[in-house]
Chains A and B, each alone.
Chain A
């Protein structure tokens, strides 16, 4: 029986091996035709035009732009909610509100995309002149709403794990809840909170449908959130819906973009895993 169970566990390893193998073998043929230097420094990305360019920078900037908008919005909100729920809110309130917040995380992302495109963008266009129909801002903000519950619930777990004695010590010195939260609890829970932020960051980088639907599909090296951009993920989706012959350079660009995304999220996940392991047993 142990053997059977072990084989099932090993499937997870095979999945990783499969991902790495598929991404790197297909990208290998890509990088035989396009030099890694061009890939990383060319400022244009136009794999299906007549004049082909294969610079990942415009896609990377689109990804980072939408991600940063989401993070600027979601990190302060998420951490504030976590502090409020763990240090301020009555128990009953917390009991009912948490599942409601978790619903936000359960909504399929294509639905968020629809929301960004048909509600948030028209609303913002009333206030922000020059906001394109597909833009990084709406996609980023809605992505922020999506990752708020992720940050707030992981951060709250971290805050909750801080021993009661620390809290009581601070209250005993005459601190208010605010002072206790920011000077005692937050620093003590910092590793857990950093982990939640990094995981949310990785999630935003890999998020696909919101940006595909609402941010557009135009590789654009810009930092202007009003403009149409394309993220790495949106490019992969749009390329997949078209008819691209297998083994062509166009087909391989999907994997070159995929490998960039994978390396990125892999690094973020590894950092968060390291922090988690390193600081886990601080209070045990």
Chain B
């Protein structure tokens, strides 16, 4: 065999190996999803969605956890979206090429890499104790809002960056000032990208467990929260609680909770991917 032939065989083999590795990830995903569905499917019915937590696995449901997740989701979005977009605009449109901008940039890169559990410690000390929010929805939402802020800022910046400078120059040429240009031209043109980033950030917040455990959110809640100062639990925490139960029957409950959690996560991610593709196709400068 000549060395050229050998090389061609090696090349082919690596191609198969690469394909195998790629498929391995997908297969793990499928194994994993089917396992969860097999364990938890029998659990998922109307009662499961509307029952309160219970020490008896057959009666235990996710109603308070689902309500808590919706509360946390709404309040976190309310806090994080305006601040995130505003900060993203500042970073990209105002703070270009200064010492300050450089510092903000390094800081942002680092924040994005801080483990979520550290945000929990921050929330515990600042929101729960110093500001006296207690282990309330408000404290949880503030903590998660800080956690997803870097994600929203980064994706907002990416979306703004994709708007070509000619649009800005044309707007300035018509006599618009910086803010008018941003508000009437740049933001509408980048809305698709910004919204995609926001949805992905929110979906991240829904799956977070560790920071909420650290701020002391309860796992056993027997009522539906009615205001932002109420105590709460969320779906991933309910799942975590059930995983830790000695009675193996609770594993089914955990799997059932996971099915609902994954449905919400996949739905949000699906919307985000759809918006991203549509937006990329539509906008061709």
Is A273's CB under 8 angstroms from B26's CB?
Answer: no
B35 to chain A, nearest CB (A): 5
**Cβ-closest chain A residue relative to B273:** A99
0/1 interface trace, chain A 9-23, chain B, CB 8 Å (1 if under): 101110110110011
Instruction: Please tell me if A202 contacts chain B, counting CB pairs below 8 Å.
Output: yes
Binding-face segment, B7-15, B48-56, B159-167, B187-195 = B7-15
Instruction: Please tell me if A213 contacts chain B, counting CB pairs below 8 Å.
Output: yes
Contact flag A12-B15 (CB < 8 Å), given A109-B209, A236-B121, A237-B210: no
Is A119's CB under 8 angstroms from B35's CB?
Answer: yes
Is A23's CB under 8 angstroms from B265's CB?
Answer: no
Interface residues of A in 231-274 (CB under 8 A from B): 233, 236-237, 240-241, 246, 254-255, 258, 261-262, 265-266, 268-270, 272-273
B12 to chain A, nearest CB (A): 9
Contact flag A145-B25 (CB < 8 Å), given A178-B11, A236-B121: yes
Is B262's CB under 8 angstroms from A107's CB?
Answer: yes
0/1 interface trace, chain A 149-163, chain B, CB 8 Å (1 if under): 100000000000000
Contact flag A16-B118 (CB < 8 Å), given A11-B149, A110-B209, A209-B210: no
Q: Which residues of A contact B39 (CB under 8 A)?
A: 118
Is A16's CB under 8 angstroms from B110's CB?
Answer: yes
Q: Which of A106, A233, A255 contacts B265 (CB 8 A)?
A: A106
Q: Which residues of A contact B214 (CB under 8 A)?
A: 236-237, 240, 254
Is A176's CB under 8 angstroms from B17's CB?
Answer: no
Contact flag A84-B19 (CB < 8 Å), given A13-B104, A114-B255, A179-B7: yes
Which residue, of A5, A269, A273, has the highest number of chain B Cβ atoms within 10 A? Answer: A5
B36 to chain A, nearest CB (A): 8
Is A81's CB under 8 angstroms from B87's CB?
Answer: no
Q: Which residues of A contact B17 (CB under 8 A)?
A: 80, 84
Complex CA gap A157/B11 in Å reads 22
B219 to chain A, nearest CB (A): 8
Is B32's CB under 8 angstroms from A258's CB?
Answer: no
Q: Which residues of A contact B111 (CB under 8 A)?
A: 12, 15-16
Interface residues of A in 199-215 (CB under 8 A from B): 199, 202-203, 205-209, 212-213
Is A77's CB under 8 angstroms from B104's CB?
Answer: no
Binding-face segment, B58-66, B122-130, B168-176, B222-230 = B122-130
Q: Which of A18, A85, A108, A268 contacts B207 (CB 8 A)?
A: A108
**Cβ-closest chain A residue relative to B210:** A208
A258 to chain B, nearest CB (A): 5
Instruction: Please tell me if A167 contacts chain B, counting CB pairs below 8 Å.
Output: no
Measuring CB to CB, which residues of chain A are less than 8 angstroms from any residue of chain B? 1-2, 4-6, 8-9, 11-13, 15-16, 18-19, 22-23, 26, 77, 80-81, 83-85, 88-89, 97, 99-104, 106-111, 113-115, 117-119, 145, 148-149, 174, 176-179, 181, 199, 202-203, 205-209, 212-213, 233, 236-237, 240-241, 246, 254-255, 258, 261-262, 265-266, 268-270, 272-273
The 5 closest A-B pairs by CB, nearest first: A206-B115, A84-B18, A108-B207, A269-B113, A8-B86
